[in-house]
A and B are shown apart, each in its own frame.
Chain A
Amino acid sequence: MYLTPGLLFSVLGLAALMAPLMTLAANRIVAGEGVMAWDVAALPLVIPGLVAILAGLGLGLLTGRPAVRLAGGVLGLAGLIWLLVQGATAMLDGAGNYARVSPAAGFWCLLVILVLLIADALAALRPRPLARGGLLFAALAVLALVLGSGVLSELSVLQEYASRRDTFMRESLRHLSLSIGSLGAAAVIGFPLGILCHRRAQLKGATLPVLSFLQTIPSLAMFGLMIPILGWVGSTVPGARSIGIAGIGFAPAFLALVLYSLLPVVGNTVAGLASTPPAALEAARGMGMTPAQRLWQVELPLGLPIILTGLRIVLVQNIGLAVIAGLIGGGGFGTFVFQGLNQTATDLILLGALPTVVMALVAAIVMDILVDLTRHGPKDTR
């Protein structure tokens, strides 16, 4: 029998089951003690979860039956969450007031394996854009339901969340407004610039290298370099300070993100506009379209998927880079990450890092759906 992804998942999944699924620690700072999957709760409670994981991995072996593999992945994931829910309450029993339970290496590995199993099956099923949107919505709804129902609230990460609920909401919004706001600003600057670059090769030759050098500058350095620049603007330009332009905080983070965003926006706008088949463009000129009509009716609609791909790159990249804003007082999930690193509080790091990852993944999936929806022409020839 050849090695298949399903077989690889099973082998790795079984190995991951042999690692501690969760840890129990005396308080939020000290290292915890690993607990195996079958020990997280009473055996009758654990067995359904274990069976579901094993059955899921087993179904994942059926190469060529993506729907069955998808079901296997979902079943395994359900089993994994079941074990987590059981463990979160059972392990804390009589462990002391400050005790914390967290998922451990075994859990994370199984999570990754099962998610990959699902993603691999989905890739083979190729759902249409709208179906993908529905699946994403369903997955997020289940996630919200599990987190909102409180069955996991004993977990250490969620304990951290509980003690800073308001801050978390504020920083989430801040993170979103940093990433999406800088995307919007970059689009407002980048689209016209891209269109100009498309029309004038000289401008393109001068602009794109500068923008790609900007992207090369390491993010921490870029954020740092914004501080003196905006500090200077804030203290010399009258009124700048009153609209929030200052050396640290939101403004330098926002500006740094906009600068990073320009290359993908401008570059993909140029590439998108240039992707029009030359014959179609020649025909458009020949039939008497004005330059503006060619742009709006031919070049932009045909380039839209590529232009949106640029926005996807920017959004995903900015969600990640916005973490660094936490270092210069710009807020966002980075606040938790760097606080956690300072205090060596693992769960606080996770409280910042996990939502960032989820946000980036969701943004990528949503943007991919948009890109697919804007592909013109026959929908069923892919």
Chain B
Amino acid sequence: MIEITHITKEYDGVKAVDDVSMTVETGSVTVIVGTSGSGKTTLLRMINRLEEPTSGEVRINGASTLSEEPYILRRRIGYAIQGHGLFPHHTVARNIGAVPQLLKWPADKIRSRVDELLDLFSMEPDQFRDRYPAELSGGQQQRVGVARALASRPDLLLMDEPFGALDPIIRTRAQDDLRRIQQRLGSTIMLVTHDMEEAIRLGDRVAVMDAGKLVQYGTPAEVITTPATRFVADMVGEMERPLRLLSLIPLSDVMESGEADGAPLGPEASLRDALSACLWTGRSAVPVEEDGHITGRVTLQAIRSRAELHK
């Protein structure tokens, strides 16, 4: 559990982060979202003490981050940044093994950990281990960057706009990968982004920052349905709200028994996907399929009444 209490950062009298308190549960993904200059990156960087707070405190599993040297602290907190920050003069294996090496793991343990991570990120170890970052595609570089941050099985993974440099299609894949890997490893992740779409896709909890203050901290559905301020509402976008909300709800929520025509959707699809499929193909319901069997259907009517539920 990460506890941030009354943390403030001042630069020349200007408060970049202003009295922020929040608690992050172990094993969850918390996305901090805000415009540039909102203090979101500063907040993140105060957790691994790349910035020293002016006042306030961060506790990780009960222990204050101030109780040890910053570089010791950072070795047990993963850190992934925009533009990956890989060492261009080290191979992929050496990049991923960087933190274990700092922690003086034995060489064979580092080697097997590197291969394990490459496998996890769907990169064939024999093929990628000895390559240099310049020989990878943008998406591969980004995956190696995240793998490096996870290498020492950190208590917490901090990510600063990790997908910011990727083009939209690769970004969506990277987000899905991250979600999958997080669920598999049960990691605690705090991620900074300026993209509300990304925050809603990835976050168990979303923290919205504005001008140094934490203006709302809640589940994605709460942020969409009851924005705390005008600013949060703007971030979510008036027109986008229903669609964003539907994108959070799995088909299983409103599935009913019955039949429908046309191509089926998987159970992991959202109501937004179902709505989209209905509108595009002119159907009033789509079949839901699991393990090759049709298990039911979702109707346009059901989607509609689910969207109105928030009132």
Closest 10 CB pairs of A and B: A376-B89, A283-B85, A286-B79, A288-B74, A288-B75, A279-B85, A377-B132, A279-B83, A288-B71, A378-B132
Pick from B83, B99, B132, B133: contact of A288, CB below 8 A: B99
- Min CB gap B155→A, angstroms: 13
- B84 and A279 within 8 A (CB): yes
User: How many Å lie between the Cα of A136 and that of B86 in the bound state?
Assistant: 36
* Contact A285 B50, CB 8 Å, known A293-B102, A377-B134, A381-B135: yes
A-B residue pairs in contact (CB < 8 Å), sample of 13: A279-B85, A280-B87, A282-B50, A283-B86, A283-B148, A286-B81, A286-B158, A287-B149, A288-B75, A376-B89, A376-B90, A377-B133, A378-B135
User: How many Å lie between the Cα of A288 and that of B89 in the bound state?
Assistant: 19
Is the CB of A277 closer than 8 A to any CB of chain B?
A: yes
* Contact A287 B50, CB 8 Å, known A376-B89, A378-B134: no
- Min CB gap B120→A, angstroms: 19
- B99 and A282 within 8 A (CB): no
Contact surface of B with A, Cβ cutoff 8 Å: 48, 50, 70-77, 79, 81-90, 98-99, 102, 131-135, 145, 148-149, 158
Is the CB of A302 closer than 8 A to any CB of chain B?
A: yes
User: How many Å lie between the Cα of A376 and that of B131 in the bound state?
Assistant: 12
Q: How many A-B residue pairs have C-beta atoms within 8 angstroms? Tell me.
A: 76
- B81 and A302 within 8 A (CB): no
- Min CB gap B110→A, angstroms: 14
Closest to A293 in B: B102
- B99 and A381 within 8 A (CB): no
User: How many Å lie between the Cα of A289 and that of B101 in the bound state?
Assistant: 11
* Contact A277 B89, CB 8 Å, known A283-B79, A288-B99: no
Is the CB of A298 closer than 8 A to any CB of chain B?
A: yes
Closest to B102 in A: A288
- B134 and A288 within 8 A (CB): no
Chain A residue numbers with a CB within 8 Å of B135 are 378, 381
* Contact A302 B134, CB 8 Å, known A279-B81, A279-B83, A288-B75: no
User: How many Å lie between the Cα of A288 and that of B158 in the bound state?
Assistant: 13
Is the CB of A236 closer than 8 A to any CB of chain B?
A: no
Chain A residue numbers with a CB within 8 Å of B71 are 288-290
User: How many Å lie between the Cα of A283 and that of B88 in the bound state?
Assistant: 12
User: How many Å lie between the Cα of A280 and that of B86 in the bound state?
Assistant: 6
- Min CB gap A285→B, angstroms: 6
Chain A 264-299, CB within 8 Å of chain B: the 1/0 string? 000000000000010111111111111001000010
- B89 and A287 within 8 A (CB): no
- Min CB gap A304→B, angstroms: 9
* Contact A289 B102, CB 8 Å, known A282-B81, A378-B135: yes
Is the CB of A301 closer than 8 A to any CB of chain B?
A: yes
Closest to B83 in A: A279
Chain A residue numbers with a CB within 8 Å of B131 are 378
* Contact A287 B134, CB 8 Å, known A302-B88, A302-B89: no
- Min CB gap B107→A, angstroms: 16
- Min CB gap A107→B, angstroms: 47
User: How many Å lie between the Cα of A277 and that of B87 in the bound state?
Assistant: 9
If A288-B71, A288-B72 are given as contacts, then 16 extra A-B residue pairs at C-beta distance below 8 Å, sorted by A number, are A281-B85, A283-B84, A284-B87, A286-B158, A287-B148, A288-B74, A288-B99, A289-B71, A293-B102, A301-B89, A302-B87, A302-B88, A302-B89, A377-B133, A377-B134, A381-B135
